[in-house]
């Protein structure tokens, strides 16, 4: 099983409750803005601790509140692509990618920088500053940096948000390539079920 996620977390007056099991290499979690999708990703990555729950990815237990298991973020090895990408503005694209590579231990690395650059189609961007990139290019670089951190799994938070139709199609094809060629377990969050229908083997709703 790629994803086994059962958690409950209260924010303000609202309870976020999710029970998800999926053996699909790419699983989507959809819901309206404010439903708690990003909170779920933060709990999986170890950036937040849910009130209760159990999270296992590809058979490895990352969190089990009942049995006092709570791996720190660096041991979970999530490749987390945030909705706002969070590239370092003072680093060119090549340096942003190199930063991701430095986050991984040598023995854990399973993909090279040349492979990532080729897969994402970004060799012409390496000497560019983030501020000069389009929205689609920023997403590609952020995904590349995540892959170079040698993740056990990917978390993609609204990777197609705020892009025009052509850029959405480009990112969708890229995610398909990652799904089919790299086969790294991926959880993709979106507010639009139609947007992920072509990509995901399983789609879950968070209401």
Q: Where are the domains of the chain?
A: 3-205
* Structure confidence at residue 1 (pLDDT): 84
Q: What is the maximum alpha-carbon separation in the chain?
A: 49
Residue 132: its pLDDT value, please?
A: 97
pTM of the full structure: 0.94
Q: What is the pLDDT of residue 163?
A: 87
pLDDT of residue 165: 87
pLDDT of res. 106: 87
146-171 residues labelled b (16+ CB within 10 A) or e (exposed)? bbbbbbbbbbbbbbbbebeeebbebb
Tokens of 133: 């990139």
What pLDDT shows up at residue 156?
A: 97
pLDDT in the model for residue 87:
95
Q: pLDDT per position in the chain (207 positions), as tens? A: 899 999 999 988 889 999 999 999 999 999 988 889 999 999 999 999 999 999 999 999 999 999 999 999 999 999 999 988 899 999 999 999 999 999 888 888 898 999 999 999 999 999 999 999 999 999 999 999 999 999 999 999 999 988 888 889 899 999 999 999 998 999 999 998 988 998 999 999 987
What b-and-e string marks burial along 177-199, b requiring 16 or more CB atoms within 10 Å of the CB?
Answer: ebbeebebbbbbbbbeeebbeeb
pLDDT at 190: 94
Multiple choice CATH, 3-205, 3.40.50.2300, 3.30.70.2860, 2.60.40.1730, 3.40.50.300: 3.40.50.300
> In this structure, are residues 150 and 2 in contact, taking their beta carbons and an 8 Å threshold?
no
Instruction: Please tell me the predicted confidence (pLDDT) of residue 48.
Output: 96
pLDDT score recorded for residue 70: 97
pLDDT at 33: 85
């Amino acid at each position: 099983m790629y994803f086994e996620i059962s958690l409950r977390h209260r924010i303000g007056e609202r309870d976020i409750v999710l029970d998800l099991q999926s053996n699909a290499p790419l699983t989507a979690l959809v819901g309206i803005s404010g439903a708690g999708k990003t909170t779920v990703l933060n709990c999986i990555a170890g950036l937040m601790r849910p009130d209760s729950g159990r999270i296992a990815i590809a058979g490895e237990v990352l969190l089990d509140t009942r049995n006092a298991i709570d791996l720190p973020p660096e041991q979970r090895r999530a490749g987390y692509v945030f909705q706002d990408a969070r590239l370092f503005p003072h680093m060119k694209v090549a340096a942003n990618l190199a930063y991701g590579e430095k986050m991984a231990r040598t023995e854990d690395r399973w993909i090279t920088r040349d492979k990532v650059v080729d897969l994402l189609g970004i060799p012409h961007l390496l000497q560019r500053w983030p501020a000069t990139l389009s929205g689609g290019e920023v997403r590609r670089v952020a995904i590349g940096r995540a892959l170079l951190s040698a993740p056990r799994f990917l978390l993609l938070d609204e990777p197609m948000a705020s892009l025009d139709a052509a850029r959405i199609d480009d990112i969708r094809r890229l995610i398909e390539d990652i799904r089919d060629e790299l086969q790294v377990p991926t959880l993709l969050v979106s507010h639009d079920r139609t947007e992920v229908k072509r990509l995901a083997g399983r789609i879950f709703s968070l209401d």
